[in-house]
Structure 1
Amino acid sequence: MAAKGPNNQMRARIGMMTLAFVVLGFGLVGVRLLYMQVFHYDFYSQQAASLQTRDTFITPNRGKIYDANMQVLAESAEVERIVISPKGVVDEAKVNKGISAQAQQQTLAQILADELSLDYDTVLAKVQKTNSEYEIIAQKVDKDVSKELYAKLDEAGCTGVYSEPDTKRYYQQGSFLSAVLGYVDNDNNGAYGLEAQYNDVLSGTAGRIVRVQNAQNQDMTPETEQYIPAQDGDSLVLTIDSDIQNFLEKHLETALADNPQARDGVSGIVMNVKTGEVLAMASLPDYDPNSSYTITDERYIEELKTNVQAALAEAGVTAEISDKYYQEGGLANLPESVQQNEELVDKLTQIRSQQLYKMWYNPVVSDTYEPGSTFKLMTVATAYELGLTSEQDTYYCGGSLMVGDWSQPIRCSNTSGHGTQTLTEALMNSCNVAMMQIAAKTGMDRFYEFYKAFGLTEKTGIDLPNESSGIFFDLNDTSAWNEVSLAVASFGQRFKVTPLQELNMVCAIVDDGKLKQPYVVKEVLGSDGSVKSTTETNVIRQVISEETSAYMREAMEAVVSGGTGKNAYVSGYRIGGKTATSEILPEYDDEGKVIDTEDRYTASFIGVAPMDDPQIAVLVSINDLPESAPHGGGAIAAPVVGRIMEDVLPYIGVTPVYSDEENDRRELTVPSVIGSTEEQAAATLAQAGFEYRVVGDGDTVTDQVPSSGVRIPASGKVILYMGESKPTEQISVPDLTGLTPDECRSTLEEYGLYLKQKGVASSQVTGSTTASKQSPAAGTKVNIGAVVTVEFSDTTNVNDR
């Protein structure tokens, strides 16, 4: 019997129920659509836009930094930022073909790691963040690298990767001027130096690109793209002259090599006396701002190693730390045994960060030191201005002086005493006893008034970050500021200033008493090259009179021509200055024990030239030297300033003028006398200012040394070859180290070579004036008649403590 089917009534009921469900379903959808599209339209439209819209910021080109001659020192170039959308990495079509999501992620991570030199595990972790739509993989990627990357990605069929425009800062000359320029971080924000000080000026304004894209980062409607262009930053034109900066850095490098025990390196500044412009500023060791987190200098690395090993020992951990960690840092460059010790990792990170900060900052403006005897210039200028001393006054030095209730005599650098000396001679001798007597006449209140007037209680206002203001005695504490404090302050001890403050003070002393605000940026240029602002010389105040300034210039010149600064002498130029060897107060550990086993010092020299019309001032300091090493400012810092002066003065157009006493330093051009008789040759050479000697016995001159047109010192003799030719084989330059000028001259004459004498003035040469440097170096092969430049220095009568 066949089964009974639904009757018409049942069919009608089923139809009605189906219709009811359909109506109810569409009703619910309608209500939901009404809810979403009418009542909550704004909310859901924003949600849709946030999922589909890609808002990309366009990094503006950071302004350039030029030197005073419009040579580019820093500029930005267009690069790319590589970004992924983890949600768009996995292609479902590939999954359907058997290529798993994990395999697609691993393939992409491997390509990114290989092409961008990144850690694979770190990249993979970002690729697998499937709840994220934006992960930065790499920044500052050169366009040729990204081009290779995209070729690999296309070949592998990878998706979810795209690039954004970015800029990368390039410092054209590496570590050159790095302490002044600073650097930029990964976000193109200035860090340290001018990059930080003028960050708002250099940065510009970011632009934007707004796109509507699908999950695979493909544009859905290109016509909806909105483009807001970036506004490039302004540029800086500095007062720094790259040539003068090169002179400074070159001679500081030599100073650092000559004084390897200088624990805090060497520093230097060159300033325009009349304007306050900084022409050069450097501190060594330095760093390369193109790779600012990489430590390459051996001094910094060795110091870091010492501190890291101490931390490991304190933690009771024995581990071999790789050189790569010391240079680059990074958790991955530490041994696994150290990586697992989170507390130790934090400690090592802190130690390396401290080393980086030391590498980045500029000690010329940020560090303070006890200036020592260069400060005697203020002591004398103050008393002279007040009429408390004069050129005719004399001061007796017996080697020490009892002051106030101090239990021991305060000693002079010459413990045997200088005897009776004039005011100028007291400066020439760098006499502590005379300075204490002068300061006692001045008194504590007036001494401090001038100290303050010279700007030593405040920042100079230079346009560089992290400037310090110095540290003086507590004026409200009679146990700190009293007649004993005044006595030691008179020769620059037990208070601190920055090197910049000290040099700025000296500029005021020699420039008719006008204290000026130093500056580094001369102009700000708009992105179109137009001048937006210019820095003018700012005279802060008149501190001393022109008459006092004129006397100080004479006294400073005497310090170099015949006093403790004689190693800064440069023939043909009127150079003045002041030496200093300042004691560094000992440091103590947590238990109150002195850390260093011997006393330590800062050796410095400040030079000014030309003294008849000062143009430039130079400060060089060699920092933190042990007593067992050469540490006198007159012995080791003054020669460095002399070398800088010898390069800079002719460069800025100062013509040498030789006195009668300097005739032996004058260079003359050798005339041609080949073919002449001896009598004719003698007359020609005499007219040119030369003496001669004869080799051979022919009737006429057949050859000569040096050849015509060569410039040699006037003291050199021309060799006349009569009837024969000069030797053609080259000569090895002899080692002249330790010889006196006369010994050097006679030794070189035996070799047929000529002496160019530099350093100590001939009138100041003593038996202790000896050759300290020569060029070419000993053993170098040269032709007969070559000129050997020898620098002489003297260790007698240059003490300045």
Structure 2
Amino acid sequence: MIARSRLARLVDSRAELALVRSRFNFMTVVMLLVIGALALRLALLQLDDHEQYVARADDNRVSLRALAPNRGLILDRQGRVLAENRPAYRLVIVPERTADLDTTLARVADLVAVSADERERFQLQKQRSRPFESITLKSNLTEEQVARLAIHRHRIEGIDIEPYLTRHYPHGELFAHLVGYVGRLDTRDRERLEADRYRATTHVGKTGIERQYEGRLHGHAGFERVETNASGRVLRVLERTDPRPGEDLRLNIDLDVQRAAYEALAEFAGAVVVLHVQTGEVLALVSKPGFDPNLFVHGIGHGAYNDLLTDFHQPLFNRVLAGGYEPGSTVKPFIALAGLQTGEISPETTVFSGGTFRLPNHRRVYRDWKDGGHGRVDLELALAESVNVYFYRLAVDLGIDRISRELALFGFGRATGLDLPGEISGILPTRSWKRATFGQPWFPGETVITGIGQGFTVVTPIQLAHATAALAGRGQTAPPALVDRREPVQMVRHDEAWWQAIHEGLEAVVHGARGTARAIGPELLVNMAGKTGTAQVFTRPEELEGFEEREQEDLPEFLRNHALFTGFAPADEPRLVVTVVAEHGGGGASVAAPIAASVLNAALEAGL
């Protein structure tokens, strides 16, 4: 029994050992198969998919970082700087390097003034940045602020002072409306600009030349391929392509003439434009008052911006491009040309001015600006003395349709195409325009006052200057341009005799014995041809209709007429056009003409 029992146990042991061996062999085979499969997969990864996974690893480890280009300079025609990139310093904070950010901010505020707007921008930027990234708290530090922060830097965690280039406008408000300014990129800017060119850019042109020529001034971004850790911190630079700086832009503007025009306006708000007749080059373009464009570069505060918006004189308003004024008597040469070309008048045609004019079967009286009138005058005297009655009668004879056609030839009622944003088209009234605008027919009395530049007609200073250039060039001039030159265009074709007659009449305005602007004649370096005018600020009683200058001193300043003058010189070989609008100046002859004389002399002295 014992033997059988031992034998049975031995058989069981052998059976169990065989089972274990078979299971072990099975597991070995399975493991070998798994290992083989893994080895095969590894081989496939190493050989067939190697490039793909290396690229993925590089994407996680290597990134592209954009480099901002230096913005191009803006220069005047002589190469003098109007907008530059000036070295400056900014205070930055790295959040991860400070244990208590609020304490750091408080200590900084004890050393330099930090405005509420700067704090707000800092907090917004902090939300969009990583903890190890520098965040600007205050830009454009003064030398005193830099020194103060440097002395106390050791006891304030997380701060640093970084050098950078900032846009600077050395002439301040003198070129505010012309050059414009740059400001921080916003959502609307990003929508209209090429994303690749602006990845590292913080500022973009907002107004003026800075906006108009953004594409040429900005340049092209460079890049760096950098190795980063898992948090995105840069470990080293692997490759670098330098940015390509923006183009330096040379304007047609002359700094000396621009300054002379700004100063000549003195206490008056207004506009001055100086053009070259043949080339269309804009030599001066002044809108006054201006503002300091440097305030906008780093973000103007709410209070300061509100002060500009609520200023009675509207310093942010570009009067040259967007200021709409009645042309007043400056339109008379164009009305006269229409009369000559249509045969309604000749240079010898005379009209008697007794001081008043009436339409047949109408009670309303249209008055001349001179009590008792001017007597009998021909075309030259009518222009020289700005005789309203002469042009009342001529306007009625022509009719509004022929007047509008003639004015349209000279560019009234449409933008000149000047290379600046924001130009309006003005108003050239016609029968169809009035019906579309007011739902009313055109009345004869409206034709009468159109003849002296009152009523619905609205021009901008740049329009009036461009039209005067065409008049000076006997129908030919180039479109106005601030950058480069444009080809001359024959805008209007009239008989040479008619051009000559108008030129002689306009020269008599300045140098004739009875010309309205004869007072400036002796001051001029060359003979000038021009026309004075006034633009009504408010609708006056009928008994004062046509009165351009008298009674103005009795009115509050804000109700006085705007004073206008437009002219060209030298009178015999026109080269320069000067157009002036002095708001609430009262009279073109007494205020605008002397300003024009001063500006013209400055241009001549500058060799233009």
**TM-score bin (small chain):** 0.7 to 0.9
**Aligned residue type for 2:517:** G
> Matched residues in 1 for 2:384 and 2:273: separation?
23
Number of corresponding residues: 519
- Residues 85, 132 of structure 1: 8 Å contact kept: no
* Matched residue, 2:429: 473
Q: Does 1:58 align with 2:67?
A: yes
* Matched residue, 2:578: 618
> Matched residues in 2 for 1:158 and 1:212: separation?
27
- Residues 174, 290 of structure 1: 8 Å contact kept: yes
Listed one character per residue, the Cα deviations across residues 111-131 of structure 1 (whole Å, up to 9, x for unaligned) are 544566424965995798699
Q: CA shift at 1:144, angstroms?
A: 6.9
Listed one character per residue, the Cα deviations across residues 123-156 of structure 1 (whole Å, up to 9, x for unaligned) are 9957986994356324654697897588568623
- Residues 182, 360 of structure 1: 8 Å contact kept: no
Q: Does 1:278 align with 2:299?
A: no
Return the match for 1:192 from 192, 207, 211: 207
**Aligned residue type for 2:565:** F
Q: CA shift at 1:376, angstroms?
A: 0.5
**Aligned residue type for 2:210:** E
Which ranges in structure 1 are unaligned for 5 or more consecutive residues? 1-29, 91-100, 257-261, 296-327, 334-348, 523-534, 588-595, 626-630, 654-801
> Matched residues in 1 for 2:82 and 2:491: separation?
34
TM value normalised by structure 1: 0.58
**Aligned residue type for 2:536:** E
**Aligned residue type for 1:553:** H
Q: Residues 645 and 123 (structure 1 numbering): CA distance in 2 closer, same or farther, change over 3 Å?
A: closer
Return the match for 1:547 from 463, 477, 497: 497
**Aligned Cα root-mean-square deviation (Å):** 4.0
Q: CA shift at 1:611, angstroms?
A: 0.8
Q: Secondary structure at the match of 2:315?
A: helix
Return the match for 2:516 from 556, 564, 574: 564
**Aligned residue type for 2:534:** T
- Residues 399, 417 of structure 1: 8 Å contact kept: yes
- Residues 456, 497 of structure 1: 8 Å contact kept: yes
- Residues 107, 156 of structure 2: 8 Å contact kept: no
Q: Secondary structure at the match of 2:274?
A: strand
* Matched residue, 1:118: 114
Query: RCO higher in 1 or 2 (8 Å CA, sep ≥ 6)?
Result: 2
* Matched residue, 2:533: 580
**Aligned residue type for 1:171:** Y
Q: Does 1:173 align with 2:181?
A: no
Query: Which residues in structure 2 correspond to 1:524-673 (within 5 Å)?
Result: 535-539=485-489, 541-561=491-511, 562=513, 563-570=515-522, 573-585=526-538, 599-624=559-584, 631-652=586-607
Q: Secondary structure at the match of 2:333?
A: helix
Choose between structure 1 and 2: higher helix proportion.
2
* Matched residue, 2:23: none
- Residues 408, 428 of structure 2: 8 Å contact kept: no
Q: Residues 521 and 354 (structure 1 numbering): CA distance in 2 closer, same or farther, change over 3 Å?
A: farther
Return the match for 1:501 from 455, 459, 463: 463
**Aligned residue type for 2:82:** L
Q: Residues 605 and 126 (structure 1 numbering): CA distance in 2 closer, same or farther, change over 3 Å?
A: closer
Q: Secondary structure at the match of 2:417?
A: coil
> Matched residues in 2 for 1:481 and 1:506: separation?
28
* Matched residue, 2:446: 485
Query: Which residues in structure 2 correspond to 1:212-611 (within 5 Å)?
Result: 212=227, 219-220=234-235, 222=236, 224-253=237-266, 256=267, 265-292=269-296, 329-330=301-302, 353=309, 355=311, 358-403=314-359, 407-476=363-432, 477=434, 479=440, 481-494=442-455, 495-522=457-484, 535-539=485-489, 541-561=491-511, 562=513, 563-570=515-522, 573-585=526-538, 599-611=559-571
> Matched residues in 2 for 1:598 and 1:188: separation?
39
- Residues 153, 159 of structure 2: 8 Å contact kept: no
> Matched residues in 2 for 1:390 and 1:139: separation?
70
Q: CA shift at 1:80, angstroms?
A: 5.9
> Matched residues in 2 for 1:158 and 1:435: separation?
78
Listed one character per residue, the Cα deviations across residues 752-789 of structure 1 (whole Å, up to 9, x for unaligned) are xxxxxxxxxxxxxxxxxxxxxxxxxxxxxxxxxxxxxx
Listed one character per residue, the Cα deviations across residues 4-41 of structure 1 (whole Å, up to 9, x for unaligned) are xxxxxxxxxxxxxxxxxxxxxxxxxx9xxx9xx999xx
* Matched residue, 2:25: none
Q: Secondary structure at the match of 1:420?
A: strand
Listed one character per residue, the Cα deviations across residues 487-534 of structure 1 (whole Å, up to 9, x for unaligned) are 111110121010111121111112122143111112xxxxxxxxxxxx
**Aligned residue type for 1:247:** A
Q: Residues 55 and 553 (structure 1 numbering): CA distance in 2 closer, same or farther, change over 3 Å?
A: same
**Aligned residue type for 2:381:** E
> Matched residues in 1 for 2:605 and 2:106: separation?
59
Q: CA shift at 1:161, angstroms?
A: 5.9
> Matched residues in 2 for 1:357 and 1:266: separation?
10
Q: Does 1:208 align with 2:242?
A: no
Q: Secondary structure at the match of 1:269?
A: strand
**Aligned residue type for 1:68:** R
Listed one character per residue, the Cα deviations across residues 633-692 of structure 1 (whole Å, up to 9, x for unaligned) are 112221222222333334437xxxxxxxxxxxxxxxxxxxxxxxxxxxxxxxxxxxxxxx
Q: CA shift at 1:65, angstroms?
A: 1.0
* Matched residue, 1:68: 77
Q: CA shift at 1:469, angstroms?
A: 0.5
- Residues 267, 620 of structure 1: 8 Å contact kept: yes
**Aligned residue type for 1:564:** T
Listed one character per residue, the Cα deviations across residues 334-364 of structure 1 (whole Å, up to 9, x for unaligned) are xxxxxxxxxxxxxxx7675465994234211
**Aligned residue type for 2:135:** I
> Matched residues in 2 for 1:239 and 1:231: separation?
25
Query: Which residues in structure 2 correspond to 1:99-178 (within 5 Å)?
Result: 101-102=99-100, 105-110=101-106, 112-113=108-109, 117-119=113-115, 132-133=130-131, 134=133, 136-138=135-137, 140-141=139-140, 151=150, 155-156=154-155, 158-159=157-158, 166-178=164-176
TM value normalised by structure 2: 0.75
| Identity over aligned pairs, percent | 27
- Residues 515, 543 of structure 1: 8 Å contact kept: no
> Matched residues in 1 for 2:104 and 2:229: separation?
19
Q: Residues 442 and 128 (structure 1 numbering): CA distance in 2 closer, same or farther, change over 3 Å?
A: closer
- Residues 568, 641 of structure 1: 8 Å contact kept: no
Which ranges in structure 2 are unaligned for 5 or more consecutive residues? 1-37, 185-201, 541-555
Q: Residues 48 and 126 (structure 1 numbering): CA distance in 2 closer, same or farther, change over 3 Å?
A: farther
* Matched residue, 1:89: 97
Q: CA shift at 1:209, angstroms?
A: 4.0
Q: CA shift at 1:289, angstroms?
A: 1.8
- Residues 211, 225 of structure 1: 8 Å contact kept: yes
